[in-house]
Amino acid sequence: MTATRLAALTATAVALVQCAPAPAPQPSEPTSTTSARASTAPAAPSQPPTPQPGPVSVHPVTAAELGTTWRPGCPLPPETLRRVDLDHWGFDGQTHRGQLVVHQDLTAEVIAVFEQLFRLRFPIERMRTVDHYPGADDELSMRDNNTSAFNCRDIPGTGRWSLHAYGRAVDINPLLNPYIDGRGDYQPANAGPFVDRTRTDPGMLHDGDPAVRAFTDRGWRWGGYWRTPKDYQHFER
């Protein structure tokens, strides 16, 4: 090859290199594997809002309003009692209005307890004063799984006033949380399936449950801790 021909080929090669397009830029690597994962991580599921009960109202009561739950000779007069109207969470997942009659000294604590039960979504089937049942019969109220407080009655078989007669006791879902004596007899009469305390049906009460602690953390005593009888429905102060 002549020197002239070689020079011409060299000049052409140089021109081709100078005119070639620049290589396309490559995507940069992520600076952090954490940030890369965060961009594709699924959003956390939203939590349902904590339910809030409606306003509570507290009312004095008269003997006429207490009906068959009070009579002359009871250990305290109607003037020392208050009717508390408040919301409770139902077994249907809805809010229901209920009523409890309690001693005037306990109204603030009762309100705080039941507001906590509501926020816990602890279900209560019904909550009405025991005069809704003929003769304020506690057995009928319990069979109906009615949560209640004041009732001027004695402790069965003892002749002593129950703390319910002082408005200082509350029974919660009594059908699901029966009274069981040392012989194994229970009340109410239709509570047989719930004598088995290994059951965990909604509305039942067990040692350490948040619903139990809503009472006991405030100094209330629970009948489920008694040696005998066991009174799983019963809280007293």
Interval 81-102 mean pLDDT: 98
DSSP state of 172: -
pLDDT value for 8 = 44
Indicate the residue type of 117: L
Q: What pLDDT score does 41 carry?
A: 53
Number of domains in the chain: 1
CA distance 42 to 171: 45
Structure confidence at residue 53 as a pLDDT band (50, 70, 90): confident
What is the mean predicted confidence (pLDDT) over 114-139? Answer: 98
Residue 46, judged by CB atoms within 10 A of its CB (0-12, 13-18, 19+), counts as exposed
Residue 122 in domain: yes
Higher pLDDT, 48 or 176: 176
User: Using CA atoms in the order 195, 196, 197, 200, what is the torsion angle rounded to 10 degrees?
Assistant: -110
How many Cα atoms are found within 13 Å in the side-chain-facing hemisphere of 87? 17
- H or E segment and range at residue 115: helix 107-119
Compute how many other C-beta atoms are within 10 angstroms of the C-beta atom of residue 90. 16
CA dist 120 → 89, 123, 156, 175, 184 (Å): 9, 9, 33, 20, 31
Q: Which of 188, 187, 179 shows the shortest CA–CA distance to 231?
A: 179
CA dist 82 and 58 (Å) reads: 6
**Whole-number pLDDT of residue 78:** 98
Asked which of 18-32, 70-84, 105-119, 138-152 is least confident by mean pLDDT, the reply is 18-32
Range of the domain at 62: 57-236
What mean pLDDT comes out for the span 170-190? 97
Q: 85 with 120: CB under 8 angstroms?
A: no
Number of alpha carbons in the 13 Å side-chain half-sphere of residue 166: 11
Q: What residues are paired with 170 via a beta bridge?
A: 235
Q: Is residue 99 part of a domain?
A: yes
Alpha-carbon distance values, 79 to 76, 94, 111, 202 (Å): 8, 33, 19, 36
Residue range 221-225: mean pLDDT, rounded: 98
β-pairing, 126-127 vs 146-147, is parallel
pLDDT top residue among 187 and 31: 187
